[in-house]
Structure 1
């Protein structure tokens, strides 16, 4: 901007001596002011600078080039063309010594103004591209956060549904057996009969409360399911199904599943189920090794698969793993999933037993 004002003053001296220095300098300063004030960039500066260039001609070529650059950045190409056309045509009636037809000024115009226009278009497109990329990155970041949160909420809802089924099954058995015993009150002492009645009432109320609290946490569109006894949630069944589907799976189980909490067995079942599903989707043909240890002080589960034999890559969207991590963390444990070298993938979890919470650590 300052360079354009300096060029205007210098050329006015060379053209007319000192006679028109002050008017030319004043005109150039006015153009500089309207170009420097942001709120005057449009539409004041194009009108003012075009009018000044129309009169002073070759003295203010650079100032109009700045205007054309700004218009090009703002994608106002037609306005830039109109400004250039008006300046070139009406200048024939302007200040005679500085008309574009004098001293080959048209050649300078043909070089300066198109160059400013092209550079402005390029810079404007680049700025818009960067803003679009930044907006897209922010959109993807927010979308990833929402998906991650949705995975956590879905897993919590699934846990609530499973616990509702399991605990409802257990409480209904307690209420059933205490009711049967209460019917034989004649053969039992009065205090025992009274306690059985209290136990049956408490178990029935607990069952109702459980349905109200955990049942409300189910997904809104989820269909009611029958109670699922824990004995059916067996890792061996998953392995048998995977083998029947053509997967190569080796299972090693240690300890007795019935000696650990039901929540541990459900978590192990879900971890193995998710891992085998991911292997089928992302590493078809890989050899899978499943190791489960129910012995104290913690339930351990580890699933490792070799590299795929058909060229697929073991990469997961991680949202299923986020849900599993939410489940394991809720039980006070840890879950790790990641590459295991040479294209292999490993998922491992450690869930401490209730009496050994202080000994929990990272998956081995």
Structure 2
């Protein structure tokens, strides 16, 4: 059972206890005050009727105000405490006009009601008015607090849904970027295959007939595959990058991490870099991912730890491409409030698509650590270098 159900049950039990107590007090004391106990049954029945309509959720409006107001109007102070509970409920529900009409009707009818319980006759109307006003004020406060809590809960839920949507948008954007990069890589290599097979086909008179036929089939297949690829993913290619005169799509150059570091150093960022192996030792997809990880890590360091030394270690060698970037805590930079804050979500999507793992979080001694491990494809020796 969740906390909301437990809380609702506790409120229902508490209300039942309060209503039962007030109804019992009204029945017992009212019967004692009325002369000779001649009205024990009517007063008791009236108290029970008030208790029933106050405890039944479907009868609280508008039956409860009518019944309790009628009982209070006739029996006077016998039902005044129960009327206070009705005014509390009306205040919680912001039914100000209904509460005012109840009080006015009770005081007006009770003026000519049964003399032994008449509020005006016993000069108890000031006490009754104070109790009713107090109950109404408490109800107003409780109702405002409940509405505020519901509004805050709705805002929290809205923010949670918005955060989920932004996170999903970051994942989708990263997938689109990966698809665009893969389109350019594959389009480049298929274009080269079609180009070279076409060159060889021009020398078909010097080649055996079966070889020339297979070259023609290979060229046709690569051309058709390139056309299909452009139809499916061509819209994702970077704007402004078009096939050249020979029909070859320029190969996307994976970002140079060293150039990225040099640019950051030129902007006064302190960076220590250690690189093991050659970028060509890793697939093109890995090199693209490494560049994005380094770019995001340096950007975050500038935002949240400006002026600190960033330590970056990259290992392109099999069996896995490794990246680790750490920086100690430091003052927030001027661009700390800029950005969506979902860069790591996109990086996790990219690394996960390559079968790797990305870890980001506090390191030792108050530092921040961003590390990724991307396993190399099994059974492949070609590492994604130029075709």
- State the TM-score, normalized to the length of structure 1: 0.89
- Secondary structure at the aligned position of 2:37 is classed as coil
Aligned equivalent of 1:345: 368
Give distance in 1, aligned partners of 2:47 and 2:38.
Answer: 16
- Secondary structure at the aligned position of 2:378 is classed as helix
Aligned pair count reads 354
Aligned equivalent of 2:329: 307
Give distance in 1, aligned partners of 2:269 and 2:289.
Answer: 22
What is the CA-CA distance between 1:68 and the residue it aligns to?
A: 0.5
Give distance in 2, aligned partners of 1:72 and 1:287.
Answer: 61
Which range moves more in the overlay, 317-326 or 328-337? 317-326
Which of 254, 259, 265 is the aligned partner of 1:243? 265
1:69 equivalenced with 2:88 (yes/no): yes
- Does the aligned pair in 1 maintain the 2:254–2:284 contact within 8 Å? no
What is the CA-CA distance between 1:314 and the residue it aligns to?
A: 8.0
- State the TM-score, normalized to the length of structure 2: 0.84
- Assess, with a 3 A threshold, how the Cα gap between structure 1 residues 77 and 224 changes in structure 2: closer, same or farther: farther
Give distance in 2, aligned partners of 1:129 and 1:168.
Answer: 57
Aligned equivalent of 2:155: 136
1:37-116 matches, within 5 Å, as 37-116=56-135
Give distance in 1, aligned partners of 2:335 and 2:154.
Answer: 30
- Does the aligned pair in 1 maintain the 2:314–2:322 contact within 8 Å? yes
- Does the aligned pair in 2 maintain the 1:283–1:312 contact within 8 Å? no
What is the CA-CA distance between 1:207 and the residue it aligns to?
A: 1.0
Aligned equivalent of 1:154: 173
Which of 308, 323, 328 is the aligned partner of 2:351? 328
Aligned equivalent of 2:25: 7
Gaps of 5+ in 1: 358-364
Aligned equivalent of 1:287: 309
- Assess, with a 3 A threshold, how the Cα gap between structure 1 residues 356 and 331 changes in structure 2: closer, same or farther: farther
Deviant stretches of 4+, over 3 Å: 222-228, 309-318
- Secondary structure at the aligned position of 1:52 is classed as helix
Aligned equivalent of 2:211: 192
Gaps of 5+ in 2: 1-18, 243-248, 381-387
Aligned equivalent of 1:254: 276
Q: What is the CA deviation profile of residues 133-158 of structure 1, one whole-angstrom value per residue up to 9, with x for unaligned ones?
A: 22222222222221111111111111
